[in-house]
Structure 1
Amino acid sequence: MTASFGSDCSYRLYDRALKSLVGGVNSPVRADPRPTPAFVDHGDGAHVVDVDDNRYLDYIMGYGPLLLGHDLPDRVREAITKAVADGPMYGIPTDIEIELAEFVIDHVESVDRLRFVNSGTEATAAAVRLARGYTGRDKIVVMRGGYHGGHESFLVEGTAADRKPSSAGVPETFADETIPVPFNDEAAVREAFERHGSDIAAVLTEPLLGNHGIVHPVGGYHESLRNLCDDYGSLLIFDEVITGFRVGGLECAQGKYDIEPDLTTFAKIIGGGFPVGAIGGRAGIMQAFTPTGEVFESGTFNGHPVTMAAGLETLRFAKKHDVYTHVNELGERIRAGLQDIVEDHAPEYTVAGTDSMFKVLFTRSGSEATTDNCTAGCKQQLDCPRFERCPKTGADVETGETDRWKRTFWPAMAERDVLLTPNQFESQFISYAHTAADIDRTLETYQRVLSQSG
């Protein structure tokens, strides 16, 4: 067992950071856990080592971008090194941005054209602007509990009938144009279209809620969104910032669920660990961006050559070396093991995830054990005895034991060298660097912690 997460050197660094960085961090989620976060010294395969020389088996993986783990394969590292040596950036087109665009287009059925940007927030903001410009409409339907970055159009909470900004600094007028509905609630989306259909530019949704506990779509939900958008002349936007090139492999989650959105936003894995975002879609829609259309989008660092090289070689490596088979088999292994542990020690909890994503949700509904459950985690199957219990919306996850996860369970796992995302909501990720032995050790740790606290 290591020392408490975030010990001597981390304490000193955090105290120093508080004097120069707002809250001592550059993203609020990094302020957890308390009293101080740990500061990482370096990554090593499937592990991170902090400045106090504590070594953790890492399932944060940069919140998703590190499909290959912390040690980049030689070919990926060489491509990045060459790009840096050639010149860090130019503000002028390079061939590498074409090659990455061609790779994405070759593998994602719905994408004919791309525009690279620098973050998931930039991508979703630009996609919504494009949808508004293309349709001539203003309103956007979003999923409550979905996360699309820190743009004013998405920092809205409440119901379709009673909504308001979720952050100071966001004008009320933005909430007027954003309609939040519960994920998996077809009736709520249909009602929104019946009230506002002629004003709705787009529906923006993650294929599965990946930043609010991992909530899977109920069968037919995506199809209902596709049909409503077609009926009312609105665009369907899939936010694949998290799921893109992780869920569904090279075809992404839209391939896994067999739905073609009009626009898709990407980030994380397509940058190979470097800052990136992208919007992709049909040529007729994408051409509405400047310089071929009237919807403005621009950026000094768009198509940054180092990022493009990292993303392209990461995806090429994943394709050539069958990375998805490896990570998905490990994902199945850990979810199946977690399902057994939960049934024995915390039957009210829910195992969620797919492919290389996983999470135990500290749900409260129903404490008795059941049989014939979905294997390897919730799949929203109607014939599963847990179907009614499994979270269908972000609100269902919020009603769980979120404080218990953060205050007692997470620290107990970290003290045993297993590093999970520090709250109940963000997904955990498996990388190509993880091994079956890592998974088995992780399951032993879950077993020990849940059996002691259950």
Structure 2
Amino acid sequence: MNHDRSRDLYDRALSVMPGGVNSSVRAAIEPYPFFVERGDGGHVIDADGNRYIDWVMGLGPLLYGHDLPQPVESAIQSRVSEGPMFGAPTEIEVEHAEFVTRHVPSVESIRFVNSGTEATVSACRLARAATGRDKIVVMQGGYHGAQETTLVEGEYDDVEPSSPGIPESFAEHTLAVPFNDEEAAHRVFEDHGEDIAAVMVEPILANMGIVTPVDGYHETLRDLTEDSGALLIFDEVITGFRIGGLQCAQGKFGIDPDITTFGKLIGGGFPVGAIGGRSELIEQFTPSGEVFQAGTFSGHPVTMAAGLESLRYAAEHDVHDHINDLGERLRTGLQEIVADQAPEYTVAGTEGIFKVLFTRDAPETFEGHCEGGCSQRPDCPRFEHCPKNAADVAAGQTDRWRRVFWEEMSEQGVFLAQNQYESQFVTHAHTDDDVEETLEAYKQAL
């Protein structure tokens, strides 16, 4: 493929933007990323005219690929024609809030914000205010946006900021435990229970290679937080309205968190975030309560229209069924390829998300394995080998994935997430042909 124009654009970008990008992951591919010119259904076309099957889908905000259903597009255009924004409430905010509270089991009240990061920042502030405690428990390697509370590295209560510019004292209030480790969860509450304001967890570890919970893990977190007076925060920025349909991952797993953070799909492809939960908690935000939270663009009418109409259309047209069927076919096909060519690798994902993890150690046979992606089934012969947490994923062949495999897939016209850790997404725009072409590319690349 020719990438001359992308190279020239990246050269220009380096002169005016740090690293030539506005979000770090976009520059993960070496020596430079391709620049996208436009989208077309389940595909993107780059600045040099190269066409790719797109499984990145904006890193998660797109349910319909790059061609919106006509009712969604009309709703967006109508709002734009009425004016960009007003600094005053609009009816569409109320309608969107009503839709979310009807469908998500734990959400009685919601505050819209502008990004997933803003949502998790506000959720931590709210949890601390509501409990009168300071410490937040997070999962090692989990990602909750570019915020000071959760940007930490280390283990347990021996953590430090993972980025310069964050005071060391901030990390003193963060406790990091491995995902899926019930013993570690019990220990942290035994040692620090009276000081813990909340546990913040992705229901599926979706920014670290896609790791599903072992049976009973979320129930353990729910019981520990309730017993200690702490709050359980589900970060559903990625899983929200993608896993578990309109009930989100909490509906799939049958867990009611106290607070839920949203982003991506709740805005229909436009910048968005939200914090939802029990009314007595969410109403502690100003102006009904004293926990300060505000934003000029919060509840932006165009975003609200895009998010609401996108989810309405999904509810009325079996969109999730189509996506989940394609996802199942894709993961099943990948398992067949991996079983034949790289049995040490792990196919991960569920419903509309997928990933092949370049793990190093596994049985040589796939006999009796979890079908359609690793589901942490205890009687699966690969159970002891499949990744259970972020450290397990990081121990894989991450450099090989990024430096060799990604480029080979790209040359075959398949656009995958820029590193081993980010999820990949099936959308309503993808087709059977997209799945078959992608599987053939995996055969060649592996």
- TM-score normalized with structure 1 length: 0.97
Structure-2 residue corresponding to 1:371: 367
Does the alignment pair 1:56 with 2:48? no
> Hey, what's the Cα distance between the residues in 2 that align with 1:366 and 1:206?
26
Q: 2:304 aligns with which of 308, 324, 338?
A: 308
> Hey, what's the Cα distance between the residues in 1 that align with 2:292 and 2:254?
31
Structure-1 residue corresponding to 2:96: 100
- CA offsets per residue over residues 347-403 of structure 1, 9 Å max, x none? 100000001000000000135223111111101000000000110010000000000
* % identity of equivalent residues: 63
Does the alignment pair 1:192 with 2:188? yes
Does the alignment pair 1:81 with 2:81? no
Given that residues 346 and 367 in structure 1 are in contact (C-alpha distance below 8 angstroms), is that contact kept between their aligned partners in structure 2? no
Structure-2 residue corresponding to 1:179: 175
> Hey, what's the Cα distance between the residues in 1 that align with 2:261 and 2:418?
25
> Hey, what's the Cα distance between the residues in 2 that align with 1:113 and 1:392?
33
Structure-2 residue corresponding to 1:143: 139
Structure-2 residue corresponding to 1:405: 401
Given that residues 157 and 172 in structure 2 are in contact (C-alpha distance below 8 angstroms), is that contact kept between their aligned partners in structure 1? no
> Hey, what's the Cα distance between the residues in 2 that align with 1:106 and 1:181?
33
Partner SS, residue 17 of structure 1: helix
Structure-2 residue corresponding to 1:421: 417
State the Cα distance separating 1:32 from its structure 2 match. Answer: 2.3
> Hey, what's the Cα distance between the residues in 1 that align with 2:314 and 2:366?
38
Structure-2 residue corresponding to 1:216: 212
State the Cα distance separating 1:344 from its structure 2 match. Answer: 0.6
> Hey, what's the Cα distance between the residues in 2 that align with 1:43 and 1:435?
15
Structure-1 residue corresponding to 2:165: 169
Structure-1 residue corresponding to 2:276: 280
Given that residues 157 and 174 in structure 2 are in contact (C-alpha distance below 8 angstroms), is that contact kept between their aligned partners in structure 1? no
Given that residues 242 and 265 in structure 2 are in contact (C-alpha distance below 8 angstroms), is that contact kept between their aligned partners in structure 1? yes
> Hey, what's the Cα distance between the residues in 1 that align with 2:378 and 2:105?
29
State the Cα distance separating 1:139 from its structure 2 match. Answer: 0.2
State the Cα distance separating 1:444 from its structure 2 match. Answer: 1.1
Taking a change above 3 Å as real, the CA distance of residues 116 and 269 of structure 1, as seen in their structure-2 partners, is same
> Hey, what's the Cα distance between the residues in 1 that align with 2:418 and 2:158?
31
Does the alignment pair 1:430 with 2:421? no
Partner SS, residue 18 of structure 1: helix
Partner SS, residue 302 of structure 2: helix
- CA offsets per residue over residues 302-334 of structure 1, 9 Å max, x none? 100000000011001111111000000000000
State the Cα distance separating 1:33 from its structure 2 match. Answer: 1.0
Given that residues 235 and 261 in structure 2 are in contact (C-alpha distance below 8 angstroms), is that contact kept between their aligned partners in structure 1? yes
Given that residues 344 and 359 in structure 2 are in contact (C-alpha distance below 8 angstroms), is that contact kept between their aligned partners in structure 1? yes
What letter matches 1:22 in structure 2? Answer: P
- CA offsets per residue over residues 202-239 of structure 1, 9 Å max, x none? 00000010000000100000000000000000000000
Unaligned runs of 5+ in 2: none
What letter matches 1:416 in structure 2? Answer: Q
Unaligned runs of 5+ in 1: none
> Hey, what's the Cα distance between the residues in 1 that align with 2:209 and 2:362?
18
Report how many aligned residue pairs link the two structures: 446
> Hey, what's the Cα distance between the residues in 1 that align with 2:398 and 2:202?
22
What letter matches 1:232 in structure 2? Answer: S
- CA offsets per residue over residues 2-46 of structure 1, 9 Å max, x none? x05xx1100111111111111110011111211111111000000
Given that residues 28 and 418 in structure 2 are in contact (C-alpha distance below 8 angstroms), is that contact kept between their aligned partners in structure 1? yes
State the Cα distance separating 1:254 from its structure 2 match. Answer: 0.2
> Hey, what's the Cα distance between the residues in 2 that align with 1:111 and 1:32?
36
Q: 1:355 aligns with which of 351, 365, 385?
A: 351
> Hey, what's the Cα distance between the residues in 1 that align with 2:6 and 2:373?
36
> Hey, what's the Cα distance between the residues in 2 that align with 1:115 and 1:46?
31
What letter matches 2:321 in structure 1? Answer: T
Given that residues 37 and 46 in structure 2 are in contact (C-alpha distance below 8 angstroms), is that contact kept between their aligned partners in structure 1? yes
Structure-2 residue corresponding to 1:114: 110
Given that residues 339 and 377 in structure 1 are in contact (C-alpha distance below 8 angstroms), is that contact kept between their aligned partners in structure 2? yes
Partner SS, residue 102 of structure 1: helix
Structure-2 residue corresponding to 1:262: 258
Partner SS, residue 392 of structure 2: helix
> Hey, what's the Cα distance between the residues in 1 that align with 2:103 and 2:373?
28
Given that residues 363 and 382 in structure 2 are in contact (C-alpha distance below 8 angstroms), is that contact kept between their aligned partners in structure 1? no
Given that residues 363 and 381 in structure 2 are in contact (C-alpha distance below 8 angstroms), is that contact kept between their aligned partners in structure 1? no
Alignment RMSD (CA, Å):
0.7
Does the alignment pair 1:324 with 2:316? no
> Stretches of 4+ moved more than 6 A in 1?
none
Given that residues 362 and 402 in structure 1 are in contact (C-alpha distance below 8 angstroms), is that contact kept between their aligned partners in structure 2? yes
Structure-1 residue corresponding to 2:16: 20
> Hey, what's the Cα distance between the residues in 2 that align with 1:134 and 1:51?
50
- CA offsets per residue over residues 427-453 of structure 1, 9 Å max, x none? 100000001111111111111211xxx
> Hey, what's the Cα distance between the residues in 2 that align with 1:272 and 1:296?
27
Partner SS, residue 16 of structure 2: coil
